[in-house]
Amino acid sequence: MWYIYSMNTLTNGSAILEFIHSSGPAELDQSIRDNIRGVGLSVLAIGLGLARIKSEKLFIALNYRNITAYIEGLSRATKSDRSNIFNWLKIGETYLKYRDELEEIGFTEGDGSTKLAFLERALAHGPKKEVFDKLINMSHRQFKAFARSCKTESRENSPFWEIRGNILYMEGQRAIILNRNLGTKNTKMLRAVISIACRALERNGFIVAVHLRGPGEARRFIPAARRIRAKIQRQVKDHQN
């Protein structure tokens, strides 16, 4: 027996989250389908449900190999455009990413959850407070136009590379986005690797990867590697002279 939840009554994001996180994969899938079909239409509920299915890999329990296959199956079953479903997923992921800020300004579905699809773009190039003020006060059409009007810095005035939050920019253009769900240790290592790679690119250098088995080997290897590098550089310089 399926229970149909009308998400129209859940205008608070936290209330929707409470329902979504208390549901099993099959119940969550059914709620998403019901909302898409208009039984209790809520774009935010659909997006948050899709975000959970993706982040927790619940699509496996629903017999799909990945989130794309799940969305394609959902598109066929509900006769909905797959691009719309991917957009709803983006809305859900954006809400979760900026949940604290959204709750702080009192954002609810009544303020227009579809505007969340443009929030990241606006935040990448606009002052945070201004962006969130406009998110609350602008209509969907106005906020979409505002986000699209945000200009990137000119390449001449941009640093060769920089990391803002979890996003790497190269010459003012977004290059890599690190998933915030990777965990502190993995994120720290990836940021370090990316930084090293960018410094090498900036200096027209090369990177040689060496896999070491633990911090003990690393402590011994690093000073030895520096000595070898210095020796090679001296030899190259002498040869050039």
Alpha-carbon span 83 to 89, nearest angstrom: 10
- CA atoms 113, 114, 117, 122: torsion sign: negative
State mean pLDDT over 125-149: 85
Alpha-carbon span 107 to 105, nearest angstrom: 6
Alpha-carbon span 184 to 191, nearest angstrom: 10
- pLDDT of 91 reads 92
Is residue 110 a contact partner of residue 139, using CB atoms and an 8 Å limit?
A: no
Summarised one tens digit per residue, pLDDT across range 65-115 is 999 999 999 999 988 888 889 999 999 999 988 888 888 888 877 778 889
Which pairs count as long-range contacts for 208-214, CB under 8 Å and 24+ apart, including other chains? Answer: none
- pLDDT of 241 reads 62
Is residue 150 a contact partner of residue 122, using CB atoms and an 8 Å limit?
A: yes
Summarised one tens digit per residue, pLDDT across range 142-181 is 888 888 876 544 444 567 778 877 788 877 677 888 887 8
pLDDT at 60 over 90: yes
Alpha-carbon span 149 to 168, nearest angstrom: 21
Looking at residue 208, the DSSP 8-state letter turns out to be: -
- pLDDT of 72 reads 92
Strand (E) or helix (H) holding 3: none
Is residue 32 a contact partner of residue 24, using CB atoms and an 8 Å limit?
A: no
- pLDDT of 39 reads 47
- pLDDT of 127 reads 79
Is residue 78 a contact partner of residue 29, using CB atoms and an 8 Å limit?
A: no
Q: Picking from 124-138, 153-167, 206-220, which range would have the lowest pLDDT averaged per residue? A: 153-167
- pLDDT of 54 reads 92
- pLDDT of 3 reads 30
Summarised one tens digit per residue, pLDDT across range 6-56 is 333 334 555 566 556 666 888 888 888 887 877 455 788 889 999 999 988
DSSP string for 137-183: HS-HHHHHHHHHHPPPPPTTTS-SEEEETTEEEETTEEEEE--GGG-
- pLDDT of 45 reads 85
pTM flag (> 0.95)? no
> What is the Cα Rg of the chain in Å?
24
Is residue 16 a contact partner of residue 10, using CB atoms and an 8 Å limit?
A: yes
Q: What backbone torsions phi and psi does residue 94 show, to the nearest 5 degrees?
A: -65, -40
